[in-house]
Amino acid sequence: MRPAFFIQPGGNSRSIFLDMARGWHVAGYDPVVVDLAGVWGDAADSAQARAARSRALTADVIRLLREQRITHAFGMWANLLFMLTHGVDAAGRIRSIFTDLGVTHLAWWLDAPQWAHGGDARMLVGHDLAREAAITHLINNSATADEMIRVLGFERTRTLPLGVDTHVHTPHPEITPEFDLVISCGPGDPDPTPLALRELDADEPDLDALRHEAAERIEPKLCKVASRFGADADSVVGLLRALLATQVTDRATPLLERADALARQDVSHRDALHVLLSRPLEWIDASMNIRRVEAWMRAFTIAWLARRFRVATFGPGGAGDAWQRQSTHLGDLPYAAMSYAYARGHAALNIMRGQDDVGLNLKPFEITSAGVACLCQNRPGLDSSFNTDQEIVAVNGPAHAGAALRTLLDSPTRRCEIAQAGLARTRREHTWSTRAMTLAEQLTTPQTIMAR
C-alpha cells in the first residue's frame, strides 16, 4: 500500500491533515505528500483560468500517481474531486481519473458533507462521483456515515475516528497553571436570548427551557422546508415537528435513527420519511435546523462557568461579548500553540459540535495528549474511546461540569491521575499512526454496499 496526501492550504485543517500524513509515515507506509497551495487559485479567477489550472493539475496528478505507484490518494473533504478534470464513460456518466488509474481516492470529511465547503459539497449529492467504486468517503462517526450512505448517496463510506499527533499536542510541565479551566472555542455561536442571560445566574440552569425556546424558533424554518413538498407538505411537516420534539427529549439517539423509529410508530410518518429522504437536499436543510436546538450550549456553558471559576478561552469566537463572559481570552492561537494554552489550566473542557449526534471531535484527543485533565460533554461514543471518570470526566450540562471541576480542583491527586491516564490511553490508542494501521486493515476488507 502506497498512500499520497494532497494537502490544501489553510490554517488548522491543513495542520490536522499534515498530522494525519505523518501518522502514516510513523506507521511505516512511506506516504507522498503533495502541497496544493501553489495551485489553489483564487475565487475571483475566471472560468477559463480555473479550467486551465484544473487540466494542468490533473495531468500532474496522473503522472505522480503513476510514477510513485500510488494505491490510495487522500484528500480532505472534496477538495481534490473539485479541483481535477474528470472524464465521461460510454453511458455518459462522469468518471474520475482514479477509476482509470485503478487508484482508490479517500475523501476525508473533517466535517460532515452537508456542512463542508460552506455548503458547496451539496453538489456531490446524487452525483456520479459520490457513488463511484474508486472513491471511498471517511467520516469520524457511524451515525453520520449512515446518513451519507442512505440519504446523500455516498455509497462507500467508512468510519474512521479522529486522532492526534502526540508530538504536536504534548505536555508542558514547565508551565504553571494559572486558570481553573481552559476551553477551545470555535465560530458560529449564536447570541444569547434574554432567557439565556437570566439562566446564567441560576446555580441549576433550566436547560430544557432553553431547548424548548430554541425549538420554537426553529419550527417555522421546518415549515418552510416542508412547504417545498406540495401535496405532501402536511405529512412532512408533521414528521419534522415530531423529529424536532425528539431533539429536545432524545438527542443522544442519532437523528436518522429517531426518524426511523417515528416511521415504525406511525404510517403517516413512514410515508413522509420516504418522501423526505427521496429529496436529500431538503433532508439536509431540515436536519441542520433541527440539530441547532443546542447551538447555544457551548457559549452558555462557557459563560456560566466563567462566572464561577477562573476560565480562559482561545480560538475564534472566544471573546463572547454578547454572552457577558467573565473569562480571559488568549486569542486565536496557532495550531501548534494549543497544548501550551491547555497547560495554563488545571483542567480543560470540550463541548461537542452540533453537526453530528455521536462520536468525538478532535478536542478530547488534543487535551488528553497535552497531559491535562479533560472534562468532556457526555455523548454516545465517549466511553468506547476513554474510560469515563478514570481517563476522562464525562459531564452533562454546565452545573454538572462545574461540580466535576470543583472536585478536580479540590483533589490535585485525582486530577493528576485522570490527566496521566488520559494521556496514556491517547498515546496508546488514539494517535494518527494507530488510525493509519486500522484503516489500512479495513481497506483490505471488502465493504458491503447498502442498496438505496
- Same-domain pairing of 133 and 157: yes
Domain at 313, CATH number: 3.40.50.2000
In a domain, 65, yes or no: yes
Within 10 A of 353 (CB to CB), how many other CB atoms are there?
18
Domain contains 452: no
Mean pLDDT for 168-184 is 98
Q: Beta 87-88 vs 94-95: how paired, if at all? A: antiparallel
**83 and 151 inside one domain:** yes
The mean per-residue pLDDT over the stretch 115-141 comes to: 86
Name the region of 397 (left: φ>0; alpha: ψ -120 to 50; beta: rest). left
Q: Residues 361, 422: one domain?
A: yes
Same domain, 188 and 302: yes
Q: Say whether both 10 and 150 belong to one domain.
A: yes
The closest alpha carbon to 148, from 163, 158, 162, belongs to 158
Q: Does residue 448 sit within a domain?
A: no
Mean pLDDT of 131-160: 94
Q: Examine the domain organization and report whether 258 and 130 are in the same domain.
A: no
Strands ordered across the beta sheet of 3-7:
32-35, 3-7, 72-76, 104-108, 135-139, 157-159
- Determine the average pLDDT of the residues in 123-139: 91
DSSP string, 80-120: HHHHS--EE-TTS-EE-HHHHHT-EEEEE-SS-TTTGGGGG
DSSP 314: E
Domain end among 246, 262, 294: 294
**In the structure, what pLDDT confidence band is assigned to residue 40 with cuts at 50, 70 and 90?**
confident
Spatial separation of the C-alpha atoms in residues 417 and 394, rounded to whole Å: 15
Tell me how many domains the chain contains: 3
Backbone angles phi, psi at 155, to 5 degrees: -60, -40
At residue 196, the 3 state secondary structure works out as helix
pLDDT for the residue numbered 446: 65
d(CA 273, CA 238): 10
* pTM exceeding the 0.85 threshold for the entire prediction: yes
Cross-strand partners of 227: none
Q: Within a domain: residue 203?
A: no
Does a structural domain hold residue 41?
yes
Q: Are residues 328 and 286 in the same domain?
A: no
Q: Per DSSP, what are the bridge partners of residue 377?
A: 395
320, three cell numbers: 463572547
Q: Which of 90-94, 346-350, 368-372 has the lowest mean pLDDT?
A: 90-94
**Pair (219, 331) in one structural domain:** no
User: pLDDT-based confidence at 451, cuts 50/70/90?
Assistant: very low
pLDDT interval class at 452 (50, 70, 90): very low
**Distance between CA atoms of 440 and 69, rounded to whole angstroms?**
17
> CATH no. for residue 127?
3.40.50
Q: What sections of 85-232 are H helices per DSSP? A: 97-101, 142-150, 194-199, 207-226
Span 308-347, pLDDT tens digits? 999 999 998 765 678 988 999 999 999 999 999 999 999 9
3-class DSSP assignment, residue 279: coil
- Residue with the bigger pLDDT between 451 and 360: it is 360
Return the amino acid letter for 100: D
pLDDT value at position 288?
Answer: 93
Find the domain containing 408 and state its range: 179-192+296-430
Average pLDDT taken over every residue of the chain: 94
Which whole number is the average pLDDT over 129-148? 94
Residue tagged 473539485 (cell numbers): 82
Q: Return the percentage of the chain with pLDDT > 90, whole number.
A: 83
Q: Is residue 349 part of a domain?
A: yes
Residues 423, 311, single domain; the answer is yes
